[in-house]
Amino acid sequence: MNTPSPPHPDVRIFASFAEEAARFFEEWSQRAFASRDTLHVALSGGSTPEAVYDALVQSSRRDSVRWSHIHFYMGDERPVPTEHADSNWGMASRALLDPLDVPTVNHHPMPTQTEDLDEAAKLYAGNLHRLLPHVDGTPQFDLIFLGIGIDGHTASLFPGTAALEETRRYVVANEVPQLETTRLTLTYPILNHARSVVFLVSGERKSAIVSRILKEADPDLPATHVKPAQGSLTWLLDRPAASKL
Ligand code: 6PG
Q: Nearest Cα to 117, choosing from 183, 164, 170?
A: 183
Three-state secondary structure of 156-178? CECCCCHHHHCCCCCEEEEEEHH
CA distance 18 to 155: 19
Q: Is the pLDDT of residue 14 over 90?
A: yes
For 77-96, write each residue's pLDDT tens digit: 999 999 999 999 999 999 99
Q: How far is CA 23 from CA 11, 31, 33, in A?
A: 15, 12, 15
Q: By alpha-carbon position, which residue is closest to atom 11 of ligand 1? A: 147
For 104-151, write each residue's pLDDT tens digit: 999 999 999 888 999 999 999 999 999 999 999 999 999 999 999 999
Predicted pLDDT at 3: 46
Q: Is the CB of 48 under 6 A from ligand 1?
A: yes
Candidate from 53, 146, 153 with most ligand 1 atoms within 8 A of CB, to mutate: 153
Give the number of the atom of ligand 1 that is nearest the alpha carbon of residue 77: 7
Q: By alpha-carbon position, which residue is closest to atom 16 of ligand 1? A: 46
Predicted pLDDT at 222: 98
CA of 54 to the centre of ligand 1 (A): 16
